[in-house]
Amino acid sequence: MTQLAHAKLNLFLHVVGVDKNGLHKLESLVVFTELHDLITIEEADGLALHRHGPFARNVDAKPQEDIIIQAASSLGKLVGITPKVKISVTKNIPVSAGLGGGSSDAAATLKSLCQYWGIKKNRADIKKLALTLGADVPACFHGKEAVMRGVGEIIIPATLPTSRIPTVLVKPKKPLSTRSVFERFEGPFSDEQDLKLRFKSLGSLLTYLSTKTNSLTASARNLCSDIEHALCSLQTSSGCTISRLSGSGPTCFGLFVSEKSANEAAAKIALAHPDWWVISTAILKQTSTAPNL
């Protein structure tokens, strides 16, 4: 049984306040890219995790502490089933990159096990479980473009243009932890809005995004100066319509007018910065086989 775990992008991310537990409340338009990890589940005598792929060695957690194992164990406890599966993950998404790779892996694990065990995945208690694993997991569990609010618990479906949106991802070498970026955040808070977003054309989406930002850019940039260079490299590339930091970084993304211009920009940036990770991909189309809630 195989499930794709797509990389997440925050087309914008606003910090709108802090809740009673000291957690930052967010407002963000979340989308997913064609870049993905791969989760495979097989029958086994117990619960085991095997990592493969280009970024497998970058995962610091021991297998038993990995978010994938946490997801499987927590779901097993919730539904009263002892997990006896081998979970294999092919890590194509960089670690600590602001692309939600771990969260997407956890969400894909929950979905796969629900299918494997014959459990309805739209149960309210499973959605609540997803939030306990991390703020991005509910959005990744939803698996489609959506507005994420609160501390990740509020998911409002959104609609993007059906046309393919070529995208270049650029990650400077230095990793960033989400905690360190939020600890460095000093404001200001953004005003909350009633976000029910439906975009029929790429032009309307880009116009809207031009009025938004990522509230974490300044704090992430203070921790990793290469973010400024990455954003500049994208924005000055021919065909780039908008460039922005994704999540807590350090990965930056650029949206492009064509696949050709995206491929050319990615090649040029990679040549100029051989120690950066650079890839040309695209935002996952709404009509694709993205995982559904």
pLDDT in tens, the chain (293 residues): 899 999 999 999 999 988 888 889 999 999 999 999 999 999 999 999 999 999 998 887 777 789 999 999 999 999 999 999 999 999 999 999 999 999 999 999 999 999 999 999 889 999 999 999 999 999 999 999 999 999 999 999 999 998 889 999 999 998 888 889 999 998 788 887 767 799 989 999 999 999 999 999 999 999 999 999 999 999 999 999 999 999 999 999 999 999 999 999 999 999 999 999 999 999 987 543 333 32
Return all residues near 71 (Cβ < 8 A) that are at least 6 apart.
Answer: 106, 107, 109, 110, 113, 133, 137
For residue 213, the model assigns a pLDDT of 94
For residue 189, the model assigns a pLDDT of 87
Taking phi over 0 as left and psi of -120 to 50 as alpha, with beta for the rest, 227 belongs to alpha
Q: Which residues pair with 13 in a beta bridge?
A: 28, 214
For residue 287, the model assigns a pLDDT of 42
Return all residues near 61 (Cβ < 8 A) that are at least 6 apart.
Answer: 67
Q: Looking at the annotation, which residues are catalytic? A: 8, 136
For residue 194, the model assigns a pLDDT of 64
Nearest to 199 by CA among 147, 242, 250, 244: 147
For residue 237, the model assigns a pLDDT of 98
Domains belonging to the chain, first-starting first, are 2-157 (3.30.230.10), 165-283 (3.30.70.890)
Cβ atoms of 28 and 10 closer than 8 Å: yes
Q: How far apart are CA 27 and CA 16, in angstroms?
A: 7
pTM assigned to the model: 0.93
Cβ atoms of 220 and 176 closer than 8 Å: yes
For residue 291, the model assigns a pLDDT of 35
For residue 18, the model assigns a pLDDT of 87
CA atoms lying within 13 Å on the CB side of residue 178: 16
For residue 290, the model assigns a pLDDT of 37
For residue 286, the model assigns a pLDDT of 59
Cβ atoms of 87 and 76 closer than 8 Å: no
